[in-house]
Amino acid sequence: MPPHALCRLGRPHPRLEPRRTLTRRFGENAITKASQIAIVFNADEPSGNSITLTGLQMSVFNGDTDIFDAHLAASMAFPTTFTGIGKQGFVFRLDTAETAALQTKLDALLNPATVAGLRIGLSAAASDATGGPETFNLATITAVPVTLTAVPEPGTLSFAVTALVGLSFLAWRRQRKTF
């Protein structure tokens, strides 16, 4: 599932204005664990200008109740950016203590439907922004188990084929001599 815009910073844009206060449900991004949450900040600055992000905070809501807050970045300067929306992604994740604290809250809910209905919201300020729109996206980190299969190198395969050809030749020659 593609990431979703959570909120928008920078100059107002009529087409994107409704997204300024948008929150996303855990279930919309198939989030079931705190370790799966990642926030992607896309900076769109003309000519690759710098931008400073201040006070990035993530909040989790159960209905109207704020059940968890995490300060993801106090102040971060991004000295250069790429031009164009979606070409520059800076990823923020919960630290180990914040992940454990949120997971404890999720475990206490017990009901998967309640967890799926939780909402994530962000607040932040951007300075030195000269273009925009700057966007935040909610991404889901999933660990996919990987099974590694041993693949022989080409040299190993050629050696094995050569050995089989040689043994076949020897067997053929022995068989020919016995008659």
| pLDDT score for 131 | 66
Q: What is the pTM of this model?
A: 0.62
Average pLDDT, the chain: 76
- Residue 139 or residue 62, greater confidence: 62
CA–CA distance, 163 with 134 (Å, rounded to integer) = 63
Would you say residue 21 has pLDDT above 50? yes
Q: Compute the average pLDDT of residues 150-173.
A: 84
Q: Name which of 30, 117, 15, 12 is nearest 4 in CA terms.
A: 30
Cβ neighbours for 136, distance < 8 A, ≥ 6 positions apart: 5, 6, 7, 8, 9, 39, 40, 41, 42, 122, 124
Q: Which of 55-64, 137-146, 148-157 tops mean pLDDT?
A: 55-64
pLDDT of residue 103 exceeding 90: yes
DSSP string, 58-104: EEEEETTEEEEEEEEEEEEEES---SSTTS-EEEEE--HHHHHHHHH
Q: How many helices (H) and strands (E) does the chain have?
A: 3, 8
Q: Provide, rounded to the nearest whole percent, the portion of the chain with pLDDT above 90.
A: 11
Q: Which two tokens stand for residue 23?
A: 């929150």
